[in-house]
Amino acid sequence: MGVRHAREYSEILQELTEAIAVIDDSYLFFEMEAADWNELDKAEQRDVLEALADDVFYGLGEHHEIAVGSGFVTYVPLLHRIEVKTNEEYRVVHLI
């Protein structure tokens, strides 16, 4: 089915990457260890987070909620948005 959007995908991906970055242990999605994550420099971490955001975006077309580390990313089709939630943070990425 896919995630419907009217905004440029590159803009959505950038915002989703920034939102997912607030999940401290998002690297667990790729089954990475904290030590491996911490060995990456900031640019490498950003690349991993962008790949994660891309994977999650397309995964949300099949499953409207995906666990990412200790957080959740949820596609809300009726509101045309993606929500990123942790115990401390709540971010919204608008799709239109």
pLDDT for position 88: 92
Write out the chain's pLDDT in tens, 96 residues. 689 999 999 999 999 999 999 999 999 999 999 999 999 999 999 999 999 999 999 999 999 999 999 999 999 999 999 999 999 999 999 999
pLDDT for position 30: 92
Q: Is the dihedral of CA 8, 11, 12, 13 positive or negative?
A: positive
Rounded to whole angstroms, the Cα distance separating 88 from 85 reads 8
pLDDT for position 70: 96
Report the predicted TM-score, pTM, of the whole model to 2 decimal places: 0.93
